[in-house]
Structure 1
Amino acid sequence: MSYKNWLREHGVKHKKIVEKLLTQDLTQEKIIEYFDFENMKEKESDFCPLYAQNKKCHDMKELNCYLCSCPNFRFSDAGIQSIENKIQYSFCSIDSKDGRQGVYGEKIHQDCSRCQVPHTKEYVHKHFDLEWNKIMQICEIQK
């Protein structure tokens, strides 16, 4: 699945959950709390394939799934640049010290698995918008 397709499909799932929570008159704080990994695993099992395995995407005690992708992630499904006969498709815009570029055959993708930046409540509060797609719209590089 392309990055763009994943972003679109995930945005639909995210919006459906947020709309449900808004009908319950939840505050911003309560919406963010709802997206706690343990709660989401129990109540929104289709949101992430890792929930069925009781596995977190990042090794951290309190994982918040509201952003489930990072506003600092940049991608182009067409490729960004060529590096030593390989094509780079994604990178971190803040060059997180915990991120790295993974080489997979002739493709280079950002590996964010060791980065916890977007999964803390503090970060979610700072970047919060009820429209997840608004937060993430900066990720796709337009050529």
Structure 2
Amino acid sequence: MIEWAPLGSGARPVPEPAAAPLVWAAAFGGALVLVAVVNSVAGPGRPGLALTVLSLLAALLGLCARFTAAPGTAILCWLSLNGFAIPPAGTLTWSGRRDALWLGCLLAAAFTGTALARVVHARAAYRRLATAPDPGAPEPGGG
């Protein structure tokens, strides 16, 4: 059964996810920066390391995004991975299974981050509502 609680009773709404264009801008810029850092620190031609770092970025961005932003986030991260983490840099290619697997990993990371955020926010909202005082109940000790 659903019970409505007035907002003045201490219940706070679940945070609103960020807009998809904002998440995509962060994915585009963040992916370029992270691939550049991986290429400069570990050397070019390390797509496995770059995929891991970009998957973490996709999951982190998923924490503040809607589910509808996940495909765009994965594609933008994949573009940076494919274009700059694999020699020759600056050339987009499609290598069937490999790129499908990379896209799948990035998409799964973005969806996982978003699902995790939704579960954490829902549990927190449930706890706040479950512990909020009932506005119609008598005061304790005020018999």
TM-score by length of 2: 0.28
**Radius of gyration: which is bigger?**
2
Larger relative contact order (C-alpha < 8 A, sep ≥ 6)? 2
**Higher share in strand:** 1
**Higher share in helix:** 2
TM-score by length of 1: 0.28
